[in-house]
Amino acid sequence: MMADPLHIVCPHCHTTNRVRQDDLARAPDCGSCHKMLFTQHPVALDEAAFERHIARNQIPVLVDFWAPWCGPCLQMAPAYEQAAAQLEPAFRVAKVDTEASPTLGARFNIRSIPTLALFVGGREVARQAGAMGAADIVRWARFHAL
Protein backbone atom coordinates (compact mmCIF):
# COMPACT_ATOMS: atom_id res chain seq x y z
CA MET A 1 0.00 0.00 0.00
CA MET A 2 1.34 3.42 -0.94
CA ALA A 3 1.48 6.22 1.61
CA ASP A 4 -0.48 9.38 0.92
CA PRO A 5 1.60 12.20 -0.52
CA LEU A 6 2.83 14.86 1.88
CA HIS A 7 2.27 18.57 1.44
CA ILE A 8 5.64 20.34 1.20
CA VAL A 9 5.87 24.13 0.82
CA CYS A 10 8.48 25.37 -1.65
CA PRO A 11 11.20 27.48 0.03
CA HIS A 12 11.41 29.67 -3.09
CA CYS A 13 7.87 30.45 -4.30
CA HIS A 14 5.97 29.13 -1.23
CA THR A 15 3.64 26.99 -3.36
CA THR A 16 2.35 23.85 -1.65
CA ASN A 17 3.48 20.66 -3.45
CA ARG A 18 2.33 17.08 -3.07
CA VAL A 19 5.33 14.76 -2.67
CA ARG A 20 5.29 11.02 -2.05
CA GLN A 21 7.15 10.19 1.14
CA ASP A 22 9.54 7.83 -0.64
CA ASP A 23 10.40 10.65 -3.10
CA LEU A 24 11.57 13.04 -0.35
CA ALA A 25 15.14 11.72 -0.47
CA ARG A 26 15.25 11.97 -4.28
CA ALA A 27 15.67 15.78 -4.41
CA PRO A 28 12.11 16.65 -5.48
CA ASP A 29 11.49 19.96 -7.18
CA CYS A 30 8.59 22.39 -7.04
CA GLY A 31 5.79 21.85 -9.54
CA SER A 32 5.41 25.62 -9.88
CA CYS A 33 8.91 27.20 -9.98
CA HIS A 34 10.85 23.94 -10.64
CA LYS A 35 13.51 24.76 -8.02
CA MET A 36 14.58 22.18 -5.44
CA LEU A 37 12.19 21.75 -2.50
CA PHE A 38 15.13 21.09 -0.17
CA THR A 39 18.31 23.16 -0.37
CA GLN A 40 20.17 21.93 2.75
CA HIS A 41 20.01 25.54 4.02
CA PRO A 42 17.60 27.32 6.37
CA VAL A 43 14.79 29.21 4.63
CA ALA A 44 14.39 32.86 5.64
CA LEU A 45 10.70 33.46 6.33
CA ASP A 46 8.73 36.69 6.51
CA GLU A 47 5.29 36.73 8.14
CA ALA A 48 3.29 35.57 5.10
CA ALA A 49 5.75 32.79 4.24
CA PHE A 50 5.90 31.74 7.91
CA GLU A 51 2.11 31.24 7.98
CA ARG A 52 2.23 29.10 4.84
CA HIS A 53 5.13 26.94 6.00
CA ILE A 54 3.70 26.34 9.48
CA ALA A 55 0.15 25.67 8.32
CA ARG A 56 0.80 23.65 5.16
CA ASN A 57 4.00 21.64 5.59
CA GLN A 58 3.26 18.08 6.64
CA ILE A 59 6.80 17.66 7.93
CA PRO A 60 8.08 19.24 11.16
CA VAL A 61 9.22 22.86 10.78
CA LEU A 62 12.19 23.96 12.89
CA VAL A 63 12.40 27.75 13.27
CA ASP A 64 15.32 29.80 14.57
CA PHE A 65 14.07 33.13 15.91
CA TRP A 66 17.14 35.39 15.69
CA ALA A 67 18.29 38.98 15.10
CA PRO A 68 21.24 40.38 13.12
CA TRP A 69 22.63 42.29 16.14
CA CYS A 70 22.65 39.18 18.40
CA GLY A 71 26.14 37.76 19.00
CA PRO A 72 24.97 34.27 20.08
CA CYS A 73 22.63 34.16 17.05
CA LEU A 74 25.51 34.89 14.70
CA GLN A 75 27.69 32.34 16.50
CA MET A 76 24.98 29.67 16.11
CA ALA A 77 24.30 30.43 12.42
CA PRO A 78 26.97 28.05 11.00
CA ALA A 79 25.78 25.25 13.31
CA TYR A 80 22.19 25.87 12.20
CA GLU A 81 23.33 25.61 8.55
CA GLN A 82 24.99 22.26 9.34
CA ALA A 83 21.85 21.07 11.15
CA ALA A 84 19.71 21.98 8.13
CA ALA A 85 21.86 19.78 5.91
CA GLN A 86 21.34 16.87 8.33
CA LEU A 87 17.63 17.39 9.06
CA GLU A 88 16.30 17.90 5.54
CA PRO A 89 14.21 16.44 3.94
CA ALA A 90 12.56 15.07 7.12
CA PHE A 91 12.23 18.67 8.42
CA ARG A 92 11.79 22.14 6.95
CA VAL A 93 14.49 24.28 8.58
CA ALA A 94 13.69 28.00 8.71
CA LYS A 95 14.84 31.29 10.21
CA VAL A 96 12.80 34.30 11.32
CA ASP A 97 14.59 37.63 11.74
CA THR A 98 12.75 39.14 14.71
CA GLU A 99 13.93 42.62 13.69
CA ALA A 100 12.38 42.31 10.22
CA SER A 101 9.26 40.47 11.52
CA PRO A 102 8.66 41.83 15.05
CA THR A 103 5.02 40.71 15.12
CA LEU A 104 6.10 37.05 14.85
CA GLY A 105 8.49 37.51 17.77
CA ALA A 106 5.71 39.12 19.78
CA ARG A 107 3.07 36.56 18.76
CA PHE A 108 5.27 33.69 19.91
CA ASN A 109 6.42 35.56 23.01
CA ILE A 110 10.09 35.29 22.08
CA ARG A 111 11.92 36.72 25.11
CA SER A 112 15.51 35.74 24.32
CA ILE A 113 17.31 34.95 21.13
CA PRO A 114 18.30 32.71 19.59
CA THR A 115 15.21 30.63 20.30
CA LEU A 116 14.43 27.43 18.43
CA ALA A 117 10.78 26.48 18.08
CA LEU A 118 9.56 23.23 16.57
CA PHE A 119 6.17 23.13 14.84
CA VAL A 120 4.38 19.90 13.99
CA GLY A 121 0.96 19.89 12.36
CA GLY A 122 0.75 23.68 12.61
CA ARG A 123 1.36 23.82 16.38
CA GLU A 124 4.42 24.59 18.43
CA VAL A 125 5.48 21.40 20.20
CA ALA A 126 8.85 22.40 21.71
CA ARG A 127 11.03 25.44 22.35
CA GLN A 128 14.65 25.94 23.36
CA ALA A 129 16.38 29.26 24.08
CA GLY A 130 20.12 29.75 23.70
CA ALA A 131 22.77 28.89 21.15
CA MET A 132 23.51 25.23 20.45
CA GLY A 133 25.93 23.28 18.29
CA ALA A 134 24.80 21.39 15.19
CA ALA A 135 24.71 17.95 16.83
CA ASP A 136 22.61 19.29 19.72
CA ILE A 137 20.19 21.05 17.34
CA VAL A 138 19.71 17.85 15.32
CA ARG A 139 19.30 15.70 18.43
CA TRP A 140 16.84 18.16 20.03
CA ALA A 141 14.72 18.50 16.85
CA ARG A 142 14.54 14.75 16.22
CA PHE A 143 13.68 14.02 19.86
CA HIS A 144 10.81 16.51 19.96
CA ALA A 145 9.40 15.67 16.53
CA LEU A 146 8.45 12.14 17.60
Report whether 94 contacts 87 (CB < 8 A): no
Q: Is 73 a known active-site residue?
A: yes
**Among the options 13, 30, 33, 70, which is catalytic?**
70
Report whether 78 contacts 135 (CB < 8 A): no
Q: Is 10 a known active-site residue?
A: no
**Among the options 10, 13, 33, 73, which is catalytic?**
73
Strand-pairing partners, residue 117, are 63, 127
State yes or no: cis peptide before 114, omega within 30 of 0: yes
Catalytic residues: 70, 73
